[in-house]
Structure 1
């Protein structure tokens, strides 16, 4: 089965329809910066929830989870099991906090607790991370589309970035959230279609799929051992907990959506809906990977020898789906990438306006100037993201290197936030020292895999699995800050006691 004219029609109708629908919010977004960045707090609960879900799912998830499950087992699904805890914390702590602060910026709170240095540091880290995210998503979206359609990778990156930038620039957050909701629905439908077709395409029926998968231990969630050097069940679970706390607690992509609902209660409902929806959907993705393994084990002649695990799903989409459904599933894959890029562009523009332009202005920033800043920043971030994707395509290893640097610089964000929430009286110097020590820990763990065995520095190499980087980095920041605060309080109390006596 090859891609037909009907598949092209389905695909282009979806992409064009989403872009035009997003552009239709232009007049609503022009009402002012509050409309562009928070939709004036007037979006429906279910739409915001679907947007949160779509923000969580990217083209990496769409292809990465099936590829990992095809290659190994259901260990990646353990990451999703931590989401209920993270969303519960969001509902109890994060959302009420941000709604009370009443700022569309996720980092305004850090300035209240530690001063502008903390807000500026985290905002800069966020912007750098989003540039890396846009570029990598565009590239990872272009590669399978190149395999499927045969189109030029650079052209896919440019046109995908431009199409997403146009409706994001014109429609603001309302366009982003509403198109996210549509894209999320298409994504779920596409995943379910693939899972069903794989299940009922087995030569001897669905039972054969489970027999083959069970024989190869494909349903395993990983080892339950105590090792910290392997991605065991516990390592992945703890890693997922910290990453999801960072997502729902301090990531502007999510926090901004908390401000688009009418009330705190609706923001909570949206977050619980969007977060918990990812659990069954990610289960479908890992099931697809297992089903692909069983399908091509039963029918090995249908898969070219040596096909990489992350290319098996794209191969099935093109060669294993009926006419028309191929276009739908490719549209699902495309939607995952577009929603992530659109979110990053709008959220980055919001941060530039709130955390830098307005904060550093010597006089009050007018609405006209605010809108100009939002439009200009959206364009610049989108353009730089496209350039980043093109650079990543041409320079080997730049993607991994950039993500390592981004993880180092952004790794202190969660620990600093937790320190501010738990410890009410943290001195600025103590917070700075805690962040520095945390970043050194993160840098050590992130760069350790680059140390070769024959290097004299090999003895300093971290023995821990890379998933634990954010765990130990965050813990160091929080513990150091907490202990310094406790000791300073004790010292102050003893000093006061001596003065009294």
Structure 2
């Protein structure tokens, strides 16, 4: 793996430092809560749209999504099919209500509609899930730099975390919005450059169309799955139903997103910003997945490592199982060479069913060999009591970048991934600090001055930054980082969304019923997730968003029948 030279370091350092310094300088001196938490309500629709996209597009997106496509193809894009539907609903229902009530957080509305305990519970559910997610968004880029620099993950988690804390604490919401515009520009440019470089590195006789044909023959271009098979995690139906509920909850009730559009100048600016996100997000995710598919095609002509995590490879090659690993490497090389014959037949217009089947079979063999290697790595790690990740999905794209891109562009792509990490983490810390300040601190203490509130918000933001760093330091890689973030969200989002739906559409349900139902529902959803993890039931995590929402609504309605005297708190 090649090491960064001075050009890459200059590109990387200048890009990141310019964003941090600019964001800190532009937003210095926020003296009141309106400026610090809502950016003075000055954001235009394009700033809102880019900020909303940047909040969701963390480093995990640019690390994990190409690796997801490399392994499983384009089907993951179905996860986002519910997003445009969610944007329309939020623009019609959520935004006008939040604007009319002049709230700083989404959870203020719940006290107006229900009571203080329901508001507090919902805010706490948000703080738990978003605090965990913030740690993971720091952990993801730390993986990259641990490979590039050879530093340990603990040091990198601390460095990246404090870099984000500096400008987030300094400038509040406006600092986040200002920096995210520039971060998204870096991200768009970097990914476009990466795509064209990958295609240019394919053999001369392999056009983009032929590359898509090869990917299709290998089963990577299957986008739509209309089956109702719950064993398939990503289908059209899980995306439209589960995805819609997840996106409604994320963009409509998650303060890290709500705070982005609450900074808008008007309802129209907020709505246009979200619609912009709804129109652009699915194509953007499709493109990032396509980059991963092109990386897969590249490795059809260039031998891929048996495992993309160099730390794992080094560990096993320095163990007593080195000879077993070398045998697997040789088996992979033999399979690669035999596959080349079938691919040449395929691109020379001999695309018969037997040729396609042979390519598919060769890729299946390669995957089995890779799985054997992972088991061997796990065996060595367990025996030596060393923590190392054998699952290499999150290392695929960074391995390609470091080994195949020209000098300077490596620095740019690393800046892309780190910019994404900083933008997402800053939004999360900003929202965590705001929610703690407004929903817990302000609501449960005596009246504070504007200056005291701003100071408290800065300290809470700083504290959540420290907590996120701690979470990052103890984080383990799951099957895939982007899935881990979505799993954490799905455990909480359905319940929270159900609470808001009750507030909007079930006017006869009062605070006590919702509070009790929310606690019961959260216990049920966590239990369902654990049962699924232990393969006792079959319920993919995306469906938890739908199930959680339905359960809390149903239980609230049932409980309300027994509490006729529970009084409604009016707005």
- How many residue pairs get aligned? The number is 478
**2:227 paired residue number:** 225
Structure 1 runs of 4+ with >4 Å offset: 393-411, 482-485
**1:69 paired residue number:** 69
Matches within 5 A, 1:104-115: 104-115=104-115
In structure 2, list runs of 5 or more residues that go unmatched: 309-391, 566-571
**1:208 paired residue number:** 210
**2:174 paired residue number:** 174
**2:548 paired residue number:** 473
Aligned CA distance change for structure 1 residues 120 and 320 (closer, same or farther; 3 Å): same
2:273 to 264, 270, 282: 270
Question: Given that residues 51 and 177 in structure 2 are in contact (C-alpha distance below 8 angstroms), is that contact kept between their aligned partners in structure 1?
Answer: yes
2:433 to 343, 349, 355: 349
Aligned to 1:51, the other structure's residue is in SS state helix
1:287 to 287, 290, 298: 290
**Which string of whole-angstrom CA distances, capped at 9 and with x for unpartnered residues, describes residues 27-81 of structure 1?**
342x311111011101222112110110011111111211111101111101222
Deviation at 1:329, TM superposition (A): 0.8
Question: Given that residues 25 and 170 in structure 1 are in contact (C-alpha distance below 8 angstroms), is that contact kept between their aligned partners in structure 2?
Answer: no
Structure 1 residue 375 corresponds to structure 2 residue 441: no
Question: Given that residues 65 and 285 in structure 1 are in contact (C-alpha distance below 8 angstroms), is that contact kept between their aligned partners in structure 2?
Answer: yes
Question: Given that residues 478 and 484 in structure 2 are in contact (C-alpha distance below 8 angstroms), is that contact kept between their aligned partners in structure 1?
Answer: no
Task: Tell me, in whole angstroms, the C-alpha distance in 2 between the residues paired with 1:268 and 1:401.
Answer: 30
Task: Tell me, in whole angstroms, the C-alpha distance in 2 between the residues paired with 1:402 and 1:298.
Answer: 33
Task: Tell me, in whole angstroms, the C-alpha distance in 1 between the residues paired with 2:455 and 2:32.
Answer: 10
Task: Tell me, in whole angstroms, the C-alpha distance in 1 between the residues paired with 2:477 and 2:186.
Answer: 32
Task: Tell me, in whole angstroms, the C-alpha distance in 1 between the residues paired with 2:492 and 2:246.
Answer: 15
Q: For the aligned residues, what is the CA RMSD?
A: 2.6
**Which string of whole-angstrom CA distances, capped at 9 and with x for unpartnered residues, describes residues 337-358 of structure 1?**
1011111111111112211222
Deviation at 1:16, TM superposition (A): 0.9
Deviation at 1:125, TM superposition (A): 1.5
Deviates more, 1:94-103 or 1:409-418: 409-418
Question: Given that residues 246 and 490 in structure 2 are in contact (C-alpha distance below 8 angstroms), is that contact kept between their aligned partners in structure 1?
Answer: no
Aligned to 2:176, the other structure's residue is in SS state helix
Task: Tell me, in whole angstroms, the C-alpha distance in 2 between the residues paired with 1:472 and 1:312.
Answer: 34
Task: Tell me, in whole angstroms, the C-alpha distance in 1 between the residues paired with 2:540 and 2:492.
Answer: 19
**Which string of whole-angstrom CA distances, capped at 9 and with x for unpartnered residues, describes residues 434-492 of structure 1?**
3244223312211113437xxxxxxxx3222222112111111123334666x679x99
Question: Given that residues 228 and 464 in structure 1 are in contact (C-alpha distance below 8 angstroms), is that contact kept between their aligned partners in structure 2?
Answer: yes
In structure 1, list runs of 5 or more residues that go unmatched: 453-460, 493-501
Task: Tell me, in whole angstroms, the C-alpha distance in 1 between the residues paired with 2:17 and 2:161.
Answer: 13
Matches within 5 A, 1:417-432: 417-432=500-515
**Which string of whole-angstrom CA distances, capped at 9 and with x for unpartnered residues, describes residues 103-122 of structure 1?**
11110111112201111001
**Which string of whole-angstrom CA distances, capped at 9 and with x for unpartnered residues, describes residues 212-256 of structure 1?**
101112111253212233223312332211110011110101211
Structure 1 residue 116 corresponds to structure 2 residue 199: no
* TM-score with structure 2 setting the length: 0.79
**2:250 paired residue number:** 247
Matches within 5 A, 1:444-455: 444-451=527-534
Task: Tell me, in whole angstroms, the C-alpha distance in 2 between the residues paired with 1:244 and 1:401.
Answer: 16
Task: Tell me, in whole angstroms, the C-alpha distance in 2 between the residues paired with 1:431 and 1:387.
Answer: 33
Task: Tell me, in whole angstroms, the C-alpha distance in 1 between the residues paired with 2:307 and 2:478.
Answer: 24
1:332 to 416, 424, 429: 416
Task: Tell me, in whole angstroms, the C-alpha distance in 2 between the residues paired with 1:349 and 1:443.
Answer: 26
Structure 1 residue 85 corresponds to structure 2 residue 169: no
Task: Tell me, in whole angstroms, the C-alpha distance in 1 between the residues paired with 2:548 and 2:495.
Answer: 7
Question: Given that residues 215 and 293 in structure 2 are in contact (C-alpha distance below 8 angstroms), is that contact kept between their aligned partners in structure 1?
Answer: yes
**1:457 paired residue number:** none
**2:11 paired residue number:** 10
Question: Given that residues 404 and 447 in structure 1 are in contact (C-alpha distance below 8 angstroms), is that contact kept between their aligned partners in structure 2?
Answer: no
Aligned to 2:28, the other structure's residue is in SS state helix
